[in-house]
């Protein structure tokens, strides 16, 4: 809430493209944290909202030099694979693209605007 106005969630793509840590020495970063600050999330839907964003931030912290903040088709495919692993383990995780794309990724990757 800012100036009595609610703001929408940042998408995982916005989290992935965030570049505030550019001024840091990447070899001095030992860890990171993702925060979900909202009144709309409770214990029943926290995984659904948190994990696509946390996974995007984790990948950026792990491979920032290589990734360079670009959300490419490869990023969609990696995060989608991670999402399916979490679903298999019983977590309710928000999709990063339509389920059809999970089974037809090459078609969807060509339609993503970078």
Q: What is the pLDDT of residues 5-18, one digit of tens each?
A: 566 667 888 888 87
∠ CA 29-77-83 to the nearest 5 degrees?
75
- Whether 51 is in a domain gets the answer no
Give a yes or no: residue 74 inside a domain.
Answer: yes
The C-alpha atoms of residue 74 and residue 63 are separated, in whole angstroms, by: 13
Domains held by the chain: number:
1
pLDDT at 60 over 80: yes
Q: Let me know if residue 87 belongs to a domain.
A: yes
Q: What is the pTM of this model?
A: 0.76
Has residue 96 been placed in a domain? yes
Within 13 Å of residue 51, how many CA atoms lie on the same side as its CB? 19
Q: CA dihedral defined by 66, 70, 74, 80, rounded to 10 degrees?
A: 110
Domain of residue 96, residue span: 67-114
The verdict on residue 11 lying in a domain is no
Length reported for the chain: 114
Q: How far apart are CA 86 and CA 91, in angstroms?
A: 5
Domain contains 43: no
What pairs with residue 5 in β-bridges?
A: 2
Given this model, what pLDDT does residue 3 score?
A: 61
């Amino acid at each position: 809430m800012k100036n009595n106005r609610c703001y929408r969630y940042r998408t995982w793509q916005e989290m992935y493209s965030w570049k505030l840590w550019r001024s840091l020495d990447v070899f001095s970063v030992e860890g990171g944290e993702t925060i979900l600050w909202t009144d709309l999330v409770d214990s029943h839907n926290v995984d659904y909202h948190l994990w696509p964003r946390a996974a995007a931030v984790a990948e950026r912290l792990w491979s920032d030099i290589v990734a360079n903040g670009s959300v490419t088709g490869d990023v969609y495919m990696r995060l989608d694979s991670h999402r399916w692993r979490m679903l298999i383990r019983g977590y309710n995780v928000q999709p990063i693209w339509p389920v059809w794309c999970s089974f037809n990724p090459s078609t969807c990757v060509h339609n993503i605007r970078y």
